């Protein structure tokens, strides 16, 4: 019953004019619908995140504390591990859209770095600008639209779990269509534009094709890519607040990336000081 309801709400989300389910209340349809809707209504967010990303066959772990404002985009992040004390501040439209970085080490001064540059993207699947929930929601919505006719068999609800002291609903998306394929680069394309258009992992394109950078492609070049972002995705959703707390992403080799959110505060009342280098609690 839940699978059919989940399918129905995804259609509702993707096609607002489809109103068959609008009058249902207190059903799994409403629960899943609110998960997507809830994340889209978040304007400010604070959390601690533990992320594991597979880099050259090794799962690299990083822990960070993050403050985020979506509109306008402002991000403060402090790394807790493995290099404790590194701080990053990004404010859209300021500092020529560069991030201000306190490396907590050599060269012992705050520097400005491109969020898309090789230094900030080293051993990272995503950019600083992908902080928050928007990326995973966009990937799920893309897959839901692409495979809308098969969602009944692809989406499964697992038993609730207790994670970090919070009761979570578990949703598993299984994608039997996941595969590798060849892609011929078109005029003006980069790894970033190819990944965005197809909603696949830009880092995977870089690694699988042994490219030096995200612009290291040319028209006519044939790349090995995947047709989708994941073969399987598992989400632990806070049953009370209806936001993701754990996201696990798998490919043909196993666990590709995992993100765990703790100490999540939804829509905190930030001040200008929260995104200022002059904040007494920061070390820029």
Residues 6+ apart with CB under 8 A from 207: 55, 56
Residue 89: closest CA among 71, 117, 67: 67
Bond preceding residue 188 cis, omega within 30 of 0: no
Please give the backbone phi and psi of residue 234, each rounded to the nearest 5 degrees, phi first. -120, 130
Per CATH, the number for 180-226 is: 3.10.350.10
Residue carrying the six token digits 């772990």: 61
Instruction: Return the structure tokens found at 96.
Output: 């020529």
Query: pLDDT in tens for each of the 284 residues of the chain?
Result: 434 444 444 444 444 443 433 443 443 335 556 677 889 899 999 999 999 999 999 999 999 999 999 999 999 999 999 999 999 999 999 999 999 999 999 889 999 999 999 999 999 999 999 999 989 888 888 888 898 888 778 888 899 999 999 999 999 999 999 999 999 999 999 999 999 999 999 999 999 999 999 999 999 999 999 999 999 999 999 999 989 999 999 999 999 999 999 999 999 999 999 999 999 999 99
Cβ–Cβ < 8 Å for 143, 175: yes
Cβ–Cβ < 8 Å for 79, 62: yes
Residue 178, phi-psi category: left (phi > 0), alpha (psi -120 to 50), beta (remainder): beta
Residue carrying the six token digits 């995140």: 49
Looking at the chain, the domain(s) classified CATH 3.10.350.10 span 180-226
H/E stretch holding 215 reads none
């Amino acid at each position: 019953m839940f699978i059919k309801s989940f399918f129905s709400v995804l259609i509702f989300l993707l096609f607002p004019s489809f109103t068959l389910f609008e009058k249902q209340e207190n059903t799994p349809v409403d629960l899943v619908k609110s998960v997507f809707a809830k994340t889209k209504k978040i304007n400010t967010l604070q959390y601690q995140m533990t992320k594991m990303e597979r880099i050259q066959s090794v799962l690299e772990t990083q822990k960070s504390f993050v403050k985020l404002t979506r509109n306008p985009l402002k991000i403060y992040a402090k790394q807790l591990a493995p290099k404790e004390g590194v701080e990053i501040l990004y404010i859209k439209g300021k500092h020529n859209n560069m991030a201000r970085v306190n490396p907590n080490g050599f060269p012992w001064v705050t520097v400005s770095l491109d969020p898309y540059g090789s230094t900030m993207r080293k051993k990272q699947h995503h950019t600083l600008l992908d902080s928050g929930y928007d990326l995973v929601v966009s990937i799920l919505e893309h897959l839901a639209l692409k495979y809308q006719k098969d969602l009944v068999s692809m989406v499964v609800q697992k038993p609730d779990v207790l994670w970090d002291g919070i009761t979570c609903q578990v949703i598993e998306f299984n994608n039997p269509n996941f595969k590798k394929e060849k892609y011929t680069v078109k005029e003006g394309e980069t790894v970033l534009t190819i990944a965005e258009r197809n909603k696949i992992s830009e880092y995977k394109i870089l690694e699988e094709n042994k490219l030096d950078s995200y612009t290291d492609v040319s028209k006519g070049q044939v790349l090995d890519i995947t047709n989708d972002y994941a073969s399987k995705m598992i989400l632990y959703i806070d049953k009370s607040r209806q936001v993701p707390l754990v996201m696990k992403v798998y490919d043909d080799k196993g666990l590709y990336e995992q993100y765990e959110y703790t100490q999540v505060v939804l829509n905190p009342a930030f001040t200008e000081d929260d995104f200022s280098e002059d904040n007494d609690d920061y070390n820029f």
